[in-house]
Amino acid sequence: MSKDDRSGWRVKQLKQRKRIVILRDDHLGDPLGRIFLDTPTAENEGAILECLREYLGHRVRIVRAEFAYRRVEIDVELQALVEEAARLAAAADDLRIHGARRNAVSLFHEALQLDPLSREAAKGLGLLMLELDNLSGALSMLKRARESGPDDAELLFALGRVCLKLERKASAFELDPAHFGVRRVLTELGRKPKPPLRSRLERPQRVSPVQSNRQS
């Protein structure tokens, strides 16, 4: 490798600074959504930041987090090969369009390894997962793309399609609320699963005053 090549490599390895915007409505019912439950204070600041770090990944350093109404704006730094990731994402998207889905999945994941906050890679992978009917994966990736950059018509349309499909699936799932997988999907959608019919029919156990006093 020549000196110029090494110099170029070092430039690409410089820290990248980005702004991430996370919307509360995108995370209703998932673990990250709990950061919106309480007003940030000195007491819970550490727990909120830890939750954000867990979501963004260990390679991303949070510089500043600012809470606004139903959203949080985060300035982050990370070392990423942005140009290489963009090229891989473009190649993967071309494969996706031409039907080579398996190879496209692999390239999208490689791009996200080079740049975990690549909007192009997250969006492309989300679109591909939607085509493969992997709705939970598609929703996760499309939300990441939305958080890493500006919205566009294709991204918003894809998010709408995923949510509509999940909503239809949730309506069907509610016919069998006792199933663990069903309850998990409903929770991911921000819905409170109905208790199974059996538990609704069961009477609550009564505790006599004597038993209550003994337990206390």
Closest by alpha carbon to 85, among 61, 120, 59? 120
Q: Phi/psi at 18 (nearest 5 deg)?
A: -135, 160
Q: Is the pLDDT of residue 181 over 50?
A: yes
Kindly report the pTM of this predicted structure. 0.71
Q: What is the pLDDT of residue 198?
A: 44
74 pLDDT tier (thresholds 50, 70, 90):
very high
Q: Are strands 71-79 and 15-23 parallel, antiparallel or unpaired?
A: antiparallel
On average, the pLDDT of the chain sits at: 79
Q: Is the pLDDT of residue 92 over 60?
A: yes
Residue 49, classified by CB atoms within 10 Å of its CB into exposed (0-12), middle (13-18) or buried (19+), is middle
pLDDT tens, residue by residue, 141-170? 999 999 998 888 999 999 999 988 888 765
180-197 in b/e form (b: 16+ CB < 10 A) is: eebbebbebbebebeeee
pLDDT tens, residue by residue, 17-31? 999 999 998 898 888
Q: What is the pLDDT of residue 30?
A: 85
pLDDT tens, residue by residue, 2-52? 444 444 444 455 678 999 999 998 898 888 988 888 788 888 889 999 999
Check whether domain 82-170 has CATH 3.40.50.10490, yes or no? no
Q: Is the pLDDT of residue 201 over 60?
A: no
Token pair, residue 5, equals 């090549």
Q: What is the pLDDT of residue 215?
A: 45
Q: Rounded distance, CA 69 to CA 67, Å?
A: 7
Q: Rounded distance, CA 176 to CA 174, Å?
A: 5
In the chain, residues under CATH classification 1.25.40.10 are 82-170
Strand, coil or helix: what is 95? helix
Q: Are strands 71-79 and 61-68 parallel, antiparallel or unpaired?
A: antiparallel
Strand, coil or helix: what is 187? helix
